[in-house]
Structure 1
């Protein structure tokens, strides 16, 4: 069986370009280092170093082994670290991303419950639009994400968690009372929208196209960078807007905005994003399991 300790010595010899310096680095005698290299050569049945020069120069087989040895040793370190986390009862740091609606209106309450169950886990929550959160999870900058739209991304898996409804709201300044609008009415009213990359706006555009209406036909008067900015614009009478019902529950109850009906409903899921080709850390897996229980 392949011995990781011997691989570590082999890597040290290549990186130090010296058997003696590798021996010092690994706290071994030089004969022991030479013995480990000979053992690896016997195991693979190929020479790993060029013996016809005074320089420590790996053969092509040695170069190949070096690349794989580095990866194996890194995986070994990750494994030890993650197993220690398990043994410590779920301590660690979770780097979580949320698009605007889940990040502002769902995850804070969920994280409160999560922290009560797992107080030793530290959480860092980043809020951005759906596309940015997906990008950072794909790059490994975030462990997980929760977003409001499913987008094409080969490096990620999207698991539906919770349902949501998107509603059209307006100020009492524009409409004295709730009413039903036709598609033609929708084209004529001033509309506030979120920026490109917003999960809410992506879902709305898709639904409008399904109903035979191009989003470009809408009378868009402003593109705003957050749900809160959209809500404030609506209250100021700038126009109507599509928003998550979760984000305007209190505003609807107070009467500061009105809900307008349409010939169709816009429903969606909030999705849990996980990296497709990477094993989740213990802390990330704990949070995934918690979300599934909270579904």
Structure 2
């Protein structure tokens, strides 16, 4: 593989020649020389440089997109050959949306490491939209997401159910009254995730199916800050049972039981649409399909 592509991608992602040189254990002049050679070979200026940052030009955006794909394919090729000659080993890049990635995936990785210690997982946590984009661009080997995926170049395989509950702080009047109809929650402030997340999609879907239109929404970018905000009685929210097990058991969050809940959705595996998969990827997907390594609470209702 052309080394200049890898160096170019590193410069773009580090947004600095100096930081890229440090990461690559190279001198800055050497990094600059590789970028100049790449620009000469492509016949276009790829980066706008200043003392503080580097920024992609239009031509640079095209080269960066395809360079990421080339690097991903080259890495996959090496892994496939290694799989043919040896036991499953090497890097396995896994992306997961926040709910699964932060509350379930650690258990699965523990199982993977116990049974396949030569596989080295690298984990990326982001919202569903970003994970699907990175898997489609072959920057990740596999993704685990909730909600709908818009990328057409992916294999999408639902593998498990998720249950979502409306929760509030113990002192919230709705917990004490225990309403049966979601319309009783109309005047509550609902704390929701950002639009690109699977949990936000599930929340909007629940609102639509129950013909419910809350008057007040607060939008936060992570599950943890939503839980802390609900505990502080800023509002109520809809969250996966995976994310609230501990808080429910400690009594610092309470479930509001209304008709139509818990709300169900699917977790899905996503992989690039190719018949070539590394042994490590196949092993990991088999673990998920068979529910090995999943925590005991996974997929079970909260009583």
- Normalised TM-score (structure 2): 0.67
Which runs of 5 or more residues in structure 2 are unaligned? 1-72, 293-303
Change in CA separation of 1:279 and 1:183 when aligned onto 2, cut-off 3 Å: same
Out of 127, 138, 154, the residue aligned to residue 140 of structure 1 is: 138
SS at the partner of 2:192?
strand
Describe the SS at the equivalent of 1:237. coil
Q: Does 1:236 align with 2:232?
A: yes
Describe the shift of the 1:95–1:85 C-alpha distance in structure 2 as closer, same or farther (beyond 3 A): same
| CA deviation after TM superposition for structure 1 residue 293, in Å | 2.2
Q: What is residue 153 of structure 1 aligned with on the other side?
A: 151
Give yes or no for contact 1:150–1:158 (8 Å, CA) kept in 2. Answer: no
The question of 1:105 aligning with 2:121 is answered: no
Which residue, 268, 271, 275 being the options, matches 2:272?
275
Indicate whether 1:87 and 2:85 are aligned: yes
Give per-residue Cα distances to partners, 1:193-243, cap 9 Å, x unaligned: 011111111022123212223xxx323342111111100000001000010
Instruction: Please tell me whether the aligned partners of residues 230 and 237 of structure 2 are also in contact (alpha carbons under 8 angstroms).
Output: yes
How far apart in 1 are the matches of 2:280 and 2:110? Answer: 16
Q: Give SS of 1:188's match.
A: coil
SS of 1:151's partner is: coil
* Preserved CA contact (<8 Å) 2:187 2:216: no
Moved more, 147-156 or 257-266: 147-156
CA distance in structure 2 between the aligned counterparts of 1:78 and 1:113, rounded to whole angstroms: 23
Aligned counterparts, 1:19-34, within 5 A: none
Deviation at 1:88, TM superposition (A): 1.4
Residues 1-295 of structure 1 aligned to structure 2 (within 5 Å):
82-175=80-173, 177=176, 179-213=178-212, 217-265=213-261, 266-277=263-274, 279-294=276-291
Equivalent-residue separation in structure 2 for 1:77 and 1:257 (angstroms): 45
Q: CA deviation at 1:181?
A: 4.3
Q: Is the 8 A contact 1:164 1:269 kept in 2?
A: yes
TM-score between both structures, scaled by the size of structure 1:
0.69
Question: Does the 8 Å CA contact 1:98/1:133 hold for their aligned counterparts?
Answer: yes
Could you report, residue by residue, the CA deviation over 1:54-112 in whole angstroms, capped at 9, with x for unpaired residues? xxxxxxxxxxxxxxxxxxxxx99965751322321001100000100110011100110
Task: Spell out, residue by residue over 1:159-211, the C-alpha distance to the aligned partner (whole angstroms, 9 max, x if none).
Answer: 11121100000012323536124232232111100111111110221232122
Q: Which residue of 2 aligns with 1:69?
A: none
CA contact (8 A) 2:128 2:147 kept: yes
Structure exhibiting the larger radius of gyration computed from Cα positions: 1
The SS at the match of 2:166 is: strand
Structure 1 unaligned residues grouped into runs of 5+: 1-74
Q: Distance in 2 between matches of 1:97 and 1:77?
A: 17
Distance in 2 of aligned mates of 1:77 and 1:223: 38
